[in-house]
Amino acid sequence: MPALPCTVAAGNETLRIDLGERSYPILIGAGLLGDPASFDAVPRSASALVVSNTTVAPLYAEALLGLLRQRHARVELLVLPDGEEHKHWATLNLVFDALLTQGADRKTVLYALGGGVVGDVTGFAAASYMRGVAFVQLPTSLLAQVDSSVGGKTGINHPRGKNMVGAFHQPLAVIADLDVLATLPERELRAGLAEVIKYGPIADAEFFTWVERNLDALLERDALALKHAVRRSCEIKAAVVGRDERESGLRAILNFGHTFGHAIEAGLGYGKWLHGEAVGCGMVMAAELSVQLGLLPAHDARRLTTLIQRAGLPVRAPALDSARWLELMRLDKKADAGEIRFVLVDAIGHAVVRGAPDADVRSVLERCCA
């Protein structure tokens, strides 16, 4: 898949996701959260709400509020509890409470300062409040920078399925400040690498090889390596979303590993495994199913499993009952009339979406579960 054109200025880069009137910039670089120019795409307004969490807000909220007060007459901060287990209706309602208390109107701008949970909840609130207000993604985790902040998917979890309640609502901009990755916990960094690794098998064999060769540099938080990983990941996702905004076809490939991974998260209880940990293990299982169905050579599946293991991610799934696995996966958003649709690979760099006989799925579960 060809890279999208990008402009380079002062070491930082700007990609553009092409969605007609909903197009927006993705800024990637160092020091972006402290640069007023980063927010040029955001209109001035009477009010704004910054939504963050208990981990990120103490690190970055105060400086951001000071900068945003140059653009908005009133800027409030809402601090949510941290963790996937809080991605539900009650947390979403905290955002609505804050907006109503503030007297927010249709010109109010929301800012999502945090990882994937903050971005998804804030985006869903923006999609719903007064039937839609503007928001900006300020992703502070690697996973959010390379995946969840781009593309306009917003939502919350339901006890029976992950991200089953939500809306498509594109942000005004995505501002990925690489400096914030310095404070990211090690486990979160490794979880984010799962989404980086994902882009190679589904779309770019050369990038997959690059990740294999540069994994140690990524784990050591080498600035140039992280910048390339974030940029290439965003290029691929922007290209896919630009062709299929609402996941009617091509965009489904971005869910490689997620059908198994979401079942792990829902089956264990949200928050037990990080999303990236579940996706990493889910990619191993999806690759095994690809081999089982005769699509992928076994050595390519081993290559992917080795890379995921090197990243410090789990490659053995929890021992859920096979009937429970199938029940959870039939709730996947790609399912069609009860048939589970899997994102599989028939070569490193090319994904396919198709069903699989339950017997083959059970065989993979037997081999891959602890």
- Annotated active-site residue 237? The verdict is yes
Which of 72, 258, 333, 341 is an active site residue? 258
Residue 248 CA to residue 181 CA, distance in Å, equals 33
- Annotated active-site residue 247? The verdict is yes
Residue 54 CA to residue 79 CA, distance in Å, equals 6
- Annotated active-site residue 195? The verdict is yes
- Annotated active-site residue 220? The verdict is no
Which of 162, 190, 237, 341 is an active site residue? 237
Which burial class, exposed, middle or buried, applies to 162 when counting CB atoms under 10 A from its CB (0-12, 13-18, 19+)? buried
- Annotated active-site residue 251? The verdict is yes
Which of 84, 188, 247, 288 is an active site residue? 247
Which of 86, 162, 275, 341 is an active site residue? 275
- The dihedral through the CA atoms of 27, 143, 112, 235 has a sign that is positive
Which of 72, 153, 333, 341 is an active site residue? 153
Cβ contacts of 65 within 8 Å, gap of 6 or more: 50, 75, 77
H or E stretch including 186?
helix 186-203
Residue 262 CA to residue 273 CA, distance in Å, equals 10
- Annotated active-site residue 213? The verdict is no
Contact 136, 39 (CB under 8 A): yes
- Annotated active-site residue 350? The verdict is no
Nearest to 92 by CA among 106, 108, 110: 110
Nearest to 149 by CA among 70, 234, 88: 234
Alpha-carbon distances, residue 268 vs 271, 281, 330, 334 (angstroms): 8, 14, 17, 21
Which of 131, 220, 299, 366 is an active site residue? 131
Alpha-carbon distances, residue 98 vs 89, 91, 93, 94, 242 (angstroms): 14, 11, 9, 6, 33
Which of 251, 265, 277, 341 is an active site residue? 251
Nearest to 304 by CA among 368, 361, 236, 224: 368
Which of 190, 262, 333, 341 is an active site residue? 262
Residue 344 CA to residue 59 CA, distance in Å, equals 39
Cβ contacts of 14 within 8 Å, gap of 6 or more: 6, 7, 25, 26, 27, 28
Which of 188, 195, 265, 277 is an active site residue? 195
- Annotated active-site residue 255? The verdict is yes
Which are the catalytic amino acids? 131, 153, 195, 237, 247, 251, 255, 258, 262, 275
